[in-house]
Homo-oligomer: A and B are copies of this chain.
């Protein structure tokens, strides 16, 4: 996988693009005007690994709340602006680290110019965030959706460039996965700016994570994308967990535990479906990038789990414990979970001592 090169941007203390690690974004779903609730959720997001947080700015009160929110939190904050450019100005004054403007509903040149001028002075990047659901009316033509999204983004990008502004990031989101992929592919060669990937309104976690994983995953696999947001109808930390799973699956980030576990079948000698969730819960707080395997039998057990730091597999009447694919001992089945936990503890301890 060779990655598309993009001009790096700084959003607070996070670099987006230019070969920086692909960053994980999410968005609060609290009322932005409720500073306490929003601060609480941003801290939850920080705990679960979000690196950039976006907030809706539906009115002036919300824009002004940002300065209070920023005082009590440390993640970079992006103000999400629709319809009214004055909210963008207010958010900039309140100290946002980035803006998202929807070119479908803020389009007047003089309005964009005012936002861009203030953003340039403060060196605050702006995302041109196109949504299939809010394309400018004049783009409602016979063109395919992907082209209409790209055209809407390019028009806004060109306007910003004319205004001598280039702290630009672009997103082209739709619910339609193939159209989204096409749109990003189309724009990737036409602009030098970082791309923010996402599938919009993807739904509940079960289906939404799958839609997002395909859309974002196909693009990342092609080397396209600098930062991602998984949109799910769920607590925003679910989005962050899903985002890291996508990045881990493609080897683009290492974060926390990777659990290898088989689906179980008529060959299983241990109850994988009971053990795997228990081990997953046990590992929930582990932040070291370790790999743990839970395999029902020995067909693929130690073999498939060769890359796992520690694992278990079912054998005839007993449980097998292995490290990096090597069997290190066998234990009675009923002791397997405790034995695995002890192995995990000792592994994490060794990693701590080794200083990573």
Residues of A participating in the B interface, judged by any CB pair closer than 8 Å: 1, 27-33, 38, 54-58, 62, 80, 82, 102, 105, 131-135, 174-178, 181, 200-211, 213-215, 217-218, 221, 231-236, 239, 241-242, 245-246, 249-251, 258-268, 272-273, 276-277, 280, 293-295, 299-307
Chain B residues with CB below 8 A from A181, complex form: 221
Report whether A267 and B207 are in contact in the complex, using a CB–CB cutoff of 8 Å.
no
A interface secondary structure, majority: mixed
Could you tell me the distance between the alpha carbons of A21 and B131 in the complex, rounded to whole angstroms?
31
Report whether A265 and B210 are in contact in the complex, using a CB–CB cutoff of 8 Å.
no
Residue of B nearest to A214 (CB): B217
Report whether A203 and B261 are in contact in the complex, using a CB–CB cutoff of 8 Å.
yes
Q: Closest 8 A-B residue pairs measured CB to CB?
A: A133-B304, A133-B300, A56-B266, A214-B217, A133-B303, A213-B213, A32-B266, A56-B267
Chain B residues with CB below 8 A from A272, complex form: 233
Report whether A250 and B62 are in contact in the complex, using a CB–CB cutoff of 8 Å.
no
Chain B residues with CB below 8 A from A268, complex form: 29
Report whether B299 and A105 are in contact in the complex, using a CB–CB cutoff of 8 Å.
yes
Report whether B304 and A262 are in contact in the complex, using a CB–CB cutoff of 8 Å.
no
Report whether A201 and B27 are in contact in the complex, using a CB–CB cutoff of 8 Å.
no
